[in-house]
Amino acid sequence: MITPTYMLVGIYTLLGQAAAVGVVGTAPGFAASTTGGGSATPGYPADIAELTTWLTDDVARVIVLNKEYNFIGSEGSVTETGCRPASNTCPDNGGQDAINHADWCTNGNAGTGSTDIEVTYDAAGVTPINLGSNKSIIGVGSAGVIKGKGLRIANGAENVIIQNIHITDLNPQYIWGGDAITVAGSDLVWIDHCKISLIGRQMFVAGTTASNRLTISNTEFDGVTTNSATCDGHHYWAIYLLGSNDLVTMKGNYIHHTSGRSPKMGGNTLLHAVNNYFYANTGHAFDIETGAYVVAEGNVFQNVVTPLLAKVGSLFASPSTAANTVCNTYLGHDCQVNTFGSSGTFVGTDTGFLSDFSGKTIATAAAASADIATSAGVGLI
C-alpha cells in the first residue's frame, strides 16, 4: 500500500520536474522571436500515438521527450519497384539504392545506367508528422529520441521550437527514404541542439515555398553511415535550402562526415552561416544556386575537399580582416574570417546584397573555433 506521504512526495517530484523543463535560451538570428509553446504546462507523451496527437493538434504545447519514441514498424513496410542509381557503384557494399519517389527513378535523375530493383522500406520513415503551430519539442538530457519518423512544419504552421532532440534511422539504405526535418510554407522555426543521423534523404530541407524566418543552431548533422550515395561512408543529402525569399541563420552547427549539400541553397534564400564547423567532407559543402545570397563568416573548414562547389548566386566569404569591415554597416559587426585546414578554397567577395540584412535580427559572430564540435548536439543543455 502506498502511504499518503509517499504519494505527496511523488506528486511534488512530478510538479518540480514539470516546472524545471522548458526551452533554454532564445534563437540567434532571424528566428529570434520564436516562442514555440510558450508557457504551456510541459507534457510527457506516453507513446508514439500520443506524441503524434500532441504534435499535430492546434493547441499550444511544450512537449517533453524523456525516452525513445520508435516509429519503425508502426505503419508496416512497403515492397515495390525502386532502382539502383548510377551513383551506387558499390551495390551490396555500402551504397544507397533508391525509392521511386516523385518518379526519381524513371525521370532521369537516377542517371544513365540505373536499373530497376525491388526495394522494401519502412512506411513510417517516408511520411513525416505534420506539426501544428505553437509547439516546443524538448528532449531531456540525451534521452529524447525520435526513431524512424521525420517532422514537417508546413502549410501555414509556424512558431515551432525543436530543441535537444535526436532524429534518426529513416530508411538510411535508400535515397528518398525520408527527411528528418522539413519546413515549407511556414515562419518562425528554431531548431537547436539537436542531432540528426542515419537519414535516407535530407537531414534538413526547406522546400520551395516560403519558410520565412528560420534558425538552425548548435545542431549536429552526423553523416556517418553504412549506406552512402557516394560509397564512402559519408552522407550526401545533408542540408537543402531552396525556399522562396527565406531568411536563414545557421550558427554553431557541427556538420561532419558528409559528401555534399552541406548546405545547398537557392530560391532567393538569404543565408547567414556563422561559426559553424564543417569536418570530414569528401565532396562539397556550399552549393550556391541562382538567387541565393550568402554571408559565411567565422566558420571552420577542416578536411573539406571542396568548401564551395558552385557560386552562381552571391557569396561574401569574409576574405580578410580589412575587407570584412564592410559588414558592420549592415550586420552590426565586422565579419569574422573563416579558417581552413586540409581543405579547398572558399572565395566570394560579393557585397551588393549586404543591404538585405539591414533592419533584421542578426546573429552575433565570434572568431572561428573548432570547439563548436563539443558544444553542438544533444545532452548539452
For the annotated catalytic residues, the residue numbers are 261
Distance between CA atoms of residues 72 and 75, nearest Å: 8
Q: How many residues can be counted in the chain? A: 381
C-alpha 40, offset from chain centre: 25
The cell numbers describing 81, all together, are 519497384
Counting Cβ atoms within 10 Å, is residue 54 exposed (0-12), middle (13-18) or buried (19+)? buried
The cell numbers describing 195, all together, are 542531432
Q: Do residues 183 and 205 lie in contact, with contact meaning Cβ atoms separated by under 8 Å?
A: yes
Distance between CA atoms of residues 90 and 112, nearest Å: 16
Residue 58 vs residues 133, 138, 211: alpha-carbon distances, Å: 6, 18, 19
Find all residues with CB under 8 Å of 334, minimum gap 6, and list them: 321, 324, 325, 327, 328
Strands 270-274 and 135-139: unpaired
Compute how many other C-beta atoms are within 10 angstroms of the C-beta atom of residue 86: 13
Nearest alpha-carbon partner for 62 in 167, 188, 179, 159: 159
Nearest alpha-carbon partner for 144 in 177, 192, 179, 108: 192
Distance between CA atoms of residues 106 and 101, nearest Å: 10
